[in-house]
Structure formats: structure tokens, C-alpha cells
Amino acid sequence: MNTETEIKLRVSAETLQQLPDHPLLRGRLQGEWQTVELLNQYFDTADGQLAAARVALRLRRDGDAIIQTLKTRGNSVAGLSERNEWDWHLQQPQLDLSLLTDDCWPAALAGLDLSLLQPLFTTDFRRVRGELRWEREGEPVCVEAALDSGRVLAGEAVEDICELELELREGPAEAVLELALALAADVPLMPCDISKAERGYRLLQADSYQLRLPAVDWQATAVVDEVVEGLGWQLLGNSQRLAEQYRHLGQWRLFRELTGQLADLRALFGVFDLGLPRSSAQPFTGPLDALLAQLRPLVLSGWADDEHGRAARDAAPALFAELLAQPAWGQLFVGLALWLRTRGWTQGRPPRGNKVGNLELPRWLLAACAREVHELQVPHANDDDVRVAECVDQMPRLGRLHLLLGNLRHRLEVPEADRLFGELNKLQALLEQLPQVDAESRPLLLAALRKQGTRVRRLDAWRVLNS
């Protein structure tokens, strides 16, 4: 059994052709690039019991070799995946079920009748692979670079394969991310949180691909640094999965959800005070702001069921394709993955920041929410139109509260935390409409904002946090 650590990066066909001659890869290449044709058949039960247990079982023909492979449950965030893998070399191109013993077969599938396994889809592709070697801080690193082009075929459904895989053979996992980030300096790369097997299942059932990572079950003893790390990985993973599915399906709701996840990711850098220093956040806040500045106007306009709304929704795919064609996308999201992997916010942090980082979640959360609520300007029933309209400036603060309450409110020791989250969301939605509304509808929206502000002010949670 091996632990597979690799990063998948979606690239264009043109980029894939150019990568073998990229100076960074060519300079670390041992020997020459080798080209092979890999033919892969995946197996599962008709009702997808292996997929439900996050297990992949395949037969691969690699030249004259026939290899049976089992991959079990793992993690995949921002393209970087880590999972257990077993390989067996066979004499015949058919499954050897006797190899699927308790040593490798998941307990969740212990009762499965293996005779029910059947071929479901294929992933056939041409792989150009090479061994890369270099030293990192005096430690040897070996990575297999694989440039894959081909297709996934499930019945009549087809999806192209065009990606770069960097699989760690020796050295720390950070080395793979560092290599990917260095490539992203001048190569458009999209971290790809979907395996070839998951693509096959997605062709069979479009909604089989999980768009969100499991929510973290925060314990009362968790400290701020654990929250930064856990929330960071979750938001990064969710955003990249939504990006992958939007690229595949082009559904408007996915574009909206992606924008929301990126907004929460941006808010992450503003809620931890000294625990996450501005100097550590700076490489990411600017690019996230620039990205949201392009996505948010379409989301806001796209709510309207009129010509302008349809135009915004129709413009989204082209904008998204344009973003993926630029190196900035890979630079941002691979960089974030490396930052989280190395706990970059803790490096060079002042003593007061270390103190914040070690605070337990309930104590820190109460103070963080109280600080945001105390400073939040909420419309009052007696406010004039100008003052109500000025509440639009509160959107960043509402975004930070959305992040805190949306993910951590079950650890917030105040009454009606759920109601506070819901009512603040309604207030935020109304404020988002204000810059878009026409003059005729503006008075009605301002009146709705006054009423919503009154509802928020009457909540027990609001009063406790303001006390």
C-alpha cells in the first residue's frame, strides 16, 4: 500500500503541448519524457456502492502491463489529493477479486457481494511523463510529472481530459505545491478537485460530484489557529469544487454559489485581527478583491428577470473562461493551498498574535462577533433616506458576520444566534439591491431596509452582543 500525494491542474490543450519544454520542468527532468497510452476500465455496482464509500477500483493497461488498482477515501483540496492506493500486476485483463481482502478493502463495504461489480466507464488517455528531481532545503525531492490528454467515456457521454498531474515520489508535500505555484507564475493552471474516476461518475449522474467538503465539527476546545486552518481549507475546497462544476455545467446557480464562497474566503482574512496579520493576508486579499469585483456585478444584475438580468447571466461563462485563461487564477488558489499547508499566518507573527491564535473558540468568537455587531450601522425606523442608503458601506462588515455566523454560530454563546444569522442575511440581500434598483422602486426598498433594521435590533442576540 502506498499513500498517493499529487496535485491535478487543468490546462488548455495548447498549454499541455508547451509544458514539456517549460524551463522549470526541463531543468529538473531526469532523462527524457516518455509517452505511453493508458487504457482504464472502472468498476462498481450498478447502484454505485463503491462511489458512495469514496472507493475507486480499476484495471489499467500500461503497455504490456495489466494493473489492478484500488484507491480509498482521501482528501482533495485545491487540486492536492492524498489517499491510499494499492496496485497489483495481473496476468489477465480481468479483476482478481481474491486480492480485495480486509487488508485493503474498506470496512464500510465488508458485506458487499463482489460478484455485483461491473464495468461502468473508461478513461483512456495519452500520458507524457517524466521524473523531476531537485533539492529543497537540503532534502531530495522527486516528483513524477504527467501530461494527460484523452477522454472519459460513460455510455454515450464523453468528457475530454487535458491536465497536468504532479505526483510526489520523495520529499514533503509542500514541494509539489511549490512547483505548481512556480509554474503558475506564467502558465494558466486550474487546480482540479475532481479525479478521472469522479468525472466518469459525473457523466453517469450529473449531481454525483460533491460540491462542498464536509463541515468541520468544531469543538469548544478548538483554538483560533485551528479555526483559521479548518475554515481556510473548507472555503478553498468549496470554491474550487464549485468552479469545477460551473466549468462543466455552466449553471447560473453555481456561478452565484462560487461568488458567495469567494466572498467568505475574502472575509476570512478580516476576522482574526492579530491572529492573522495583514502582512500574511496581503498576497491574497488584493487578488480576491479583484476577482470579486468582476464576479459580483454579474451576480447582482443576474437576479433581475429582465433584459439586464439575462444579459448578466449570459455574460458569466465568457467571463469565467477569461479568468481561467489567465495565470492569476492558479497563482491565487495554489498559493492559498501552500499558505494553509505551511500555516503561513503563524510565521513571523508577533507575540500578541500568538496569544490570539491560542484563544479557545467560544471566547474568541463572542468577542469577534460583539466587535462587528457593535460597529455595524443598521437602518433605524427614523433614519432619513440618505442615512439608510449609507448602510451600503456596511457590506464588508456584514460579510465578516456572514462568515462567522454561517460557520461557527453553534459555538456562539448568545440566544437566537440562528435568527440573528438569518435576519442579517436578509438585511445584506436588501442592501445588495440598493445600487441596482431604479428610482421608482427605491422608496419601497428603503422602507424595507428600515423594517429589516428594526427586526435585527429587536433580537435578543443583537442586544447581548451590543451590551
Task: Give percent of the chain with pLDDT exceeding 90.
Answer: 83
Task: Give percent of the chain with pLDDT exceeding 70.
Answer: 97
Q: Which residue has the cell 496496485?
A: 87
CA–CA dist 155, 67 (Å, integer):
23
**156-198: per-residue pLDDT in tens?**
999 999 999 999 999 999 999 999 999 999 999 999 988 899 9
Q: What is the identity of the amino acid at 48?
A: G
What's the pLDDT band for 266 if we cut at 50, 70, 90?
A: very high
Distance of alpha carbon 229 from the chain centroid: 14
**304-333: per-residue pLDDT in tens?**
888 989 999 999 999 999 999 999 999 999
pLDDT at 263 > cutoff 80: yes
pLDDT at 74: 62
CA–CA dist 413, 409 (Å, integer):
8
- Mean pLDDT over residues 258-285, rounded? 96
Q: Which one is predicted more confidently, 74 or 211? A: 211
Q: What value, to the nearest 5°, has the Cα angle with vertex 255 and ends 253 and 260?
A: 95
Answer yes or no: are the C-beta atoms of 112 and 48 closer than 8 Å.
no
C-alpha closest to that of 181 among 276, 320, 283: 283
What lies within 8 Å, CB to CB, of 278 at 6+ separation is: none
**223-235: per-residue pLDDT in tens?**
999 999 999 999 9
Answer yes or no: are the C-beta atoms of 128 and 163 closer than 8 Å.
no
**240-254: per-residue pLDDT in tens?**
999 999 999 999 999
CA–CA dist 47, 347 (Å, integer):
48
pLDDT at 193: 85
CA–CA dist 280, 347 (Å, integer):
8
CA–CA dist 336, 403 (Å, integer):
18
**76-127: per-residue pLDDT in tens?**
555 566 678 899 999 988 999 999 988 889 888 988 999 999 999 999 999 9
User: Grid coordinates in use for 167?
Assistant: 505526483
- Mean pLDDT over residues 407-427, rounded? 95
Answer yes or no: are the C-beta atoms of 264 and 220 closer than 8 Å.
no
pLDDT at 72: 82
pLDDT at 104: 86
Phi, psi of 237 (to 5 degrees): -65, -45
C-alpha closest to that of 161 among 116, 189, 123: 123
Lowest mean pLDDT among 289-293, 404-408, 440-444: 440-444
pLDDT at 1: 55
